[in-house]
Each structure stands twice: as C-alpha cells, then as structure tokens.
Amino acid sequence: MHMQTHGPSTVRDEINLLIFFLPNLFASFGSYFFILLHTKKLIWIILIIVDKGDYISPKYHLFSFLYSRLEGFYVDDALQGQGIYTYEDGGALHGTYIDGELNGPAQEFNPEGQLVFRGQYKDNIHYGLCWIYYTDGACVVGEVNEDGEMTGKSVSYVYPDGRTALYGSFVDGELIEARLATLTTQENSRPYFTVDPDSLVYCYDKSTSSCIAGHKLLPDPYESQRVYVGQSLISGAGEGLFTKIEAEANTVMAFYNGVRITHTEVDSRDWSLNGNTISLDEDTVIDVPEPFNLTENYCASLGHKANHSFTPNCKYDQYVHPRFGRIKCIRTIRAVEKDEELTVAYGYDHEPSGKSGPEAPEWYTKQLLEFQQRESGEDADETC
C-alpha cells in the first residue's frame, strides 16, 4: 500500500502519519501518521500531529495515539526491530518490524494477557505457519494463505488437551471437513499429526432454532474420551454425566450444544419444557428438547446430562467449538476422580420475583430448601 503525503518542510520532522487500516495492522510513511477509524457505516481519516514522544534512548520512541500506543526503536522515522503496539482495550502485539512494517515473528495477547496469536508476519499480513489460540484452551494451527487467512487442506483444530485434533480443510479458521488426529510432537514450533485411518468425517454443523445437528449421533471425539452417561447418584434426577478419567481443576470435560432459541420463547413457556435450557448470551438460549434428551436420538454432545448441585465440581463456561460454533462447555472447578458424577450449579434466581415465587422450577426450590436446612444444621453443630 503506497500513499503520497504533502506538508510544509519546516514542520515535516515534527509530525507523523499513522495508517491504521485493520485492528492488527498498521504502517508508517515518512514522518507523517494518519489514523483510520471505521464503523459499519462511517469512515474517518484523521491527521494527528504529535511531537516525537517520550525519548527513552536516542532511538527509542514511544508514540501515544488516543488510548493506544506504539513503542520501539526508530531509524529515519521508521520502526526497526522489536516493537510493541498496545491496543485501546489493553491487548498487545509484540512484533518484528522492518522499515515500519511487520515482518518476522510476532505474538499477540488479549487484554487479560492470554496469548491469542503466535506466528509470522510478512508485509503486515500473517504469513507461513501460524497458531490462533482461543481463551477456552483450544487452538487452530496451519499454514495461512496469501491473504493471511487460516485457509487450506492441512489445517488442524487442537482441543484443550493439546493432543486431540481435527485435521483437514478449513476456510478462514472455520471447519469444512476434517478427521480425527493426534498431535504427536512439535519441532521448532511446527506440529506433527497422526491421522486416524478409521476416523469418521467431521464438518461444521452449527444448530438453528429448528435443527439441533445434521449428524445427531456422531459423538465428539474429545468428549467421548472423558465422559459417559449413567444413572445419576442424585435421587430422582434420572441420568447423569460421569467422568471416564481423573481430571485436574479447570479441565474441559463436555460440551453443551442444542437448538438456539430466544429468551422470550423460554420465558413464555412452562418450566416443564425448560429442563435442558442454558443461556448462551443476552440474546440466545441453548435447548435440548425432546426427543433429543435421549442419547439414542442425540449424542453429538452430552453437556446437558450434567445434573445440578449446590456443591458442584464443575461450572458452565463459554466455548468456541469447531463443529457447533459458540456454545458452552462443562469445566471442572476442582480435581475429579474416575467415575465421579459431574455436577454444576444451575444458577436459578433464589429471590422471590412477585406472586409467582422464585424464578426456578419446583424441584430446584425443594432442593434449595433441603440444602439450606442441612447447612443450618451443620452450623448449629459447629457452635455447640
């Protein structure tokens, strides 16, 4: 990308021009800087006149633009070598610059300091082997195309265990068609996978309001290694979810996929129809309605089989799944033993909301009362 700039020579050395054309990409031209701000409807190009910034050394510049900043070593007003761009939200891109452009190894972190990208840049674009990390613990790895997109036939999605993978075709990081594989080793950050010759084919299969999945009886391979469905140890709870393995705290164990409906629909119907609903966000509720509550009709995910407890060993968490898209998962909050039942706190509202009582089904309010009575009894025993 080239741009000619014009300005009085007497002030040329005192102003800079930043072109900010993508959230992760920026380039410098001469001594001027533009900032490009855009929304879905409007674009603003603003000339920002700044001084040379805070000099940490004769060649080290720290430029601040609004609430973001760019720092590194400059030669003839062009960033050279290692530089750090800190985003307005606190995220940061640590990269290698040649003549003001990203060229070479780079790492990117979100505002919480979690690694979200590791790889190479060439002329401000992702290049070569790149790793894209999700905050849920999974990642996508492969050679990006000429546009810097994770598109190709040899891309892998790696589950949070760092070994179980889906290897195959992806477009811009989205699963098209893949087979079960195992990440066997890494050499110089390059992963090597062994593909299961007997693997079934996994495709992107995001649910809608009327379709829970295209392949309802195709289990998730990661989940299948970790959990099974059995008779719950909780009285009257029916089936429950149990672990096949010992697992540490903060381990993803199962996935909660289902049809996607609105909060309005859920709130307008009887509690008896909401036994397998969970809020995904302020707009969407995930539901596993009849007859898909039976594993003989649906077993692509099993997270809905986890029962409630006021002393749970797991929690619901956000997850970006290669087949199902954005859903929720079940993650341990403490270490669990093999064959232990996995439970979560359903999180119904305990407080009365008017004449109708608490925002919870009858079985929940009954369990809550029993739990509170047990807790009160234990507290009384401790004070004696």
In which region does residue 222 sit, left (phi positive, over 0), alpha (psi from -120 to 50) or beta (all else)?
Answer: alpha
Q: Among the options 346, 348, 350, 364, which is catalytic?
A: 346
Known catalytic residue: 350? no
- 308 noted as active-site residue: yes
For the question of residue 126 being annotated catalytic, the response is: no
**Cα(317)–Cα(138) distance, integer angstroms:** 13
Whole-angstrom Cα distance, residue 97 to residue 99?
6
346 noted as active-site residue: yes
Contact assessment for residue 243 and residue 336, using Cβ atoms and an 8 Å cutoff? yes
Q: Which of the residues 121, 167, 256, 319 is marked catalytic? A: 256
316 is catalytic: yes
User: Which of the residues 87, 94, 134, 308 is marked catalytic?
Assistant: 308
**Are 243 and 340 in contact, with CB atoms under 8 Å apart?**
yes
Side-chain half-sphere CA neighbours of 336 within 13 A: 28
**Which two tokens mark 244?**
């096949």
From the list 85, 157, 316, 319, the catalytic residue is 316
User: Is the N-terminal amide bond of 361 cis, ω within 30° of 0?
Assistant: no
Q: What is the Cα 253 distance to its own chain's centre? A: 16
Sheet holding 284-287: strands in order across? 259-262, 284-287, 277-279
Which is the catalytic residue, given 74, 159, 222, 304? 304
Q: Which residues are catalytic?
A: 256, 304, 308, 316, 346
